[in-house]
Amino acid sequence: MDNFYFEKIKRIQTLAEIGLEYTENSFDRERYEELKSIALQMLEKMTDIPIEQIIPVIEEKNGYKTPKVDVRAAVFNENGQILLVQEKADNKWAMPGGWSDISYSPKEVAEKECMEEAGIKVRATKLLAVLDKQKRKMIPAFEYVYKIFLLCEKQDDNISTGFETNDVGWFDEEKLPTLSTPRNNLEIVKMMFEFNRGDRTEPVFD
């Protein structure tokens, strides 16, 4: 899949949705509907995913579209190893985390996801990065995503799998498992190690 064209098509679909929300002109509305239909057909062609499955993910129908927010926890042990969970979705590994939840702060999401996915109690202590998924050369998604990474201190040594994970473990920087690249790529995980070593001290943002 060509990431450039994928993102441009999503942008067209987004502009069509915004236009449909705010236009009061029936002529414009008809054109926005056509643009939206064309964009969805192109996404279907590029991804081999039926339009009826794309629409619930990509359409908000509530006004101006904004990015979704994914929160990830960077947890390290005394040996400088990072905590990763094996996702059931693709059997690959990622830092604990997930979509932001209504009524939960980013800190609370990170702490909750660590308990749910890795069975470990943590305390979020520091903002490390706010990244634009598209600008970090990650696998494209229908949603436009901002990713928040928080440093979390473990409060105990218990780890266990959760409903969405097959396995959980601690990993050295040079012995990382196959990463779940929709969630975190090698560049980002290595950035977390840089923070843990003190090579980085200021938050990174796109």
- Domains of the chain with bracketed CATH: 3-58 (no CATH), 68-205 (3.90.79.10)
Please give the pLDDT value at position 127: 98
Separation between Cα atoms, residue 2 and residue 116, nearest integer Å: 35
Question: pTM of the prediction?
Answer: 0.76
**Helix (H), strand (E), coil (C) string for the chain:** CCHHHHHHHHHHHHHHHHHHHHCCCHHHHHHHHHHHHHHHHHHHHHHCCCHHHHHHHHCCCCCCCCCEEEEEEEEECCCCCEEEEEECCCCCEECCEEECCCCCCHHHHHHHHHHHHHCCCEEEEEEEEEEEHHHHCCCCCCCCEEEEEEEEEECCCCCCCCCCEEEEEEECHHHCCCECCCCCCHHHHHHHHHHHHCCCCCCEEC
**55, pLDDT greater than 90:** no
**Left, alpha or beta for 88 (phi > 0: left; psi -120 to 50: alpha)?**
alpha
Q: CA of 169: how far to CAs of 26, 83, 119, 153, in Å? A: 57, 6, 11, 16
Please give the pLDDT value at position 199: 98
For 139-155, the pLDDT digits (tens) are 877 788 999 999 999 99
**65, pLDDT greater than 80:** no
CB 186 within 8 A of CB 179: yes
Q: Name the pLDDT band for 64 (thresholds 50, 70, 90).
A: low
**Left, alpha or beta for 161 (phi > 0: left; psi -120 to 50: alpha)?**
beta
For 13-49, the pLDDT digits (tens) are 888 888 888 888 998 999 999 999 999 999 999 889 9
**58, pLDDT greater than 90:** no
More confident call, 158 vs 62: 158
Please give the pLDDT value at position 98: 96
How far separated are the first and last CA of the chain, in Å rounded? 24
